[in-house]
Amino acid sequence: MLDSIIKLLIGDLEEKRVYKQFMKRVDALPKDYRFAFSKIQHYMFSVGPPGGDMTIFTDLTMFRNLVDFFEESAAEGRQVLDVIGSDVGKFSDEFMRASVTNTESLREKLNKEIMKKFNKEEN
Evaluated on CA atoms 98, 104, 108, 111, the torsion sign reads positive
Which residues make Cβ contacts (< 8 Å) with residue 73, sequence separation at least 6?
Answer: 33, 80, 82, 83
- In this prediction, residue 59 carries a pLDDT of 61
41: exposed, middle or buried (Cβ count in 10 Å: 0-12, 13-18, 19+)? middle
In the chain, the domains with their CATH numbers are 2-122 (1.10.1900.10)
pLDDT digits (tens, 9 = 90+) for 1-24: 666 666 666 666 777 888 889 899
- In this prediction, residue 28 carries a pLDDT of 97
CA-based nearest residue to 66, from 105, 100, 31, 92: 92
* DSSP H/E element including 58: none
CA dihedral 67, 71, 72, 74 (to 10 degrees): 130
Q: What is the mean pLDDT of residues 14-39?
A: 92
pLDDT digits (tens, 9 = 90+) for 67-121: 999 999 999 999 999 999 999 999 998 888 887 666 556 667 777 778 888 886 5
